Amino acid sequence: MKRPVKFIITVLFLFFAGNSVFAENIYKFKLKSISGKTIPLSLLKGKVILIVNVASYCGFTYQYNSLQKLYNKYRKKGLVILGFPSNDFGNEEPGSNTDIRKFSHIQYRVEFPLMSKVRVKGKHIHPLYRYLIHHSRFKSDIRWNFEKFLIDRKGNVVARIPSPIEPDSTKVVSLVESLLKQDESNYSSLSGNYRSSNKD
């Protein structure tokens, strides 16, 4: 007996929608910077990466300060912070990419790279975020703005950090430092692969 066409379409949709979950590693993804430039994550091989979904009008927006502080301290040692603006929570990031970039720079002097506005939950979730959730220890949806994922030098998701925990807290700093020390000599030659700011 032939399977209903609707069933087949559903199966195909689920396969392609979830395909990013089974990407070989995080370096297979390509991102759009806040100015629209394509950024292959492969450029960040050998870096420790902190990925954060940000918003301009959130109770946690002040964390831009501690994120920038963390970036200033460890960027030369191999830390990259990537901010992903999202309007998924409480309409707290309603502006355009231009608005977001201007706000973050003027109000918080943000210099770490910001990406184009994305969805971090729901049907239209960005493929990278689908991957991050699937490969983290806790596989629940993103709960709010300023949730953080920490990626080691080999591209592994090693920590998922809730919104209330400050980026420059003792626990986060200790984890970042330990990851930066891992195989440091093997990756020192890659330190110039990606140098950018939220102006890109």
Alpha helices in the chain (DSSP H): 5-17, 63-74, 97-108, 127-135, 170-181, 184-187
Question: Residues near 4 by Cβ (< 8 Å), separated by ≥ 6?
Answer: none
Q: Is 58 a catalytic residue?
A: yes
| 134, two tokens | 């699937």
Beta strands in the chain (DSSP E): 30-32, 38-40, 48-54, 79-85, 148-151, 157-161
Among 51, 54, 58, 80, which one carries the catalytic annotation? Answer: 58
In contact, 127 and 29? CB cutoff 8 Å: yes
Quick one: which of 79, 31, 67, 26 has its CA closest to 187?
A: 79
User: What are the φ/ψ torsions at residue 54 (nearest 5 degrees)?
Assistant: -110, 165
Q: Which amino acid makes up residue 61? A: T
* Catalytically active residues, by annotation: 58
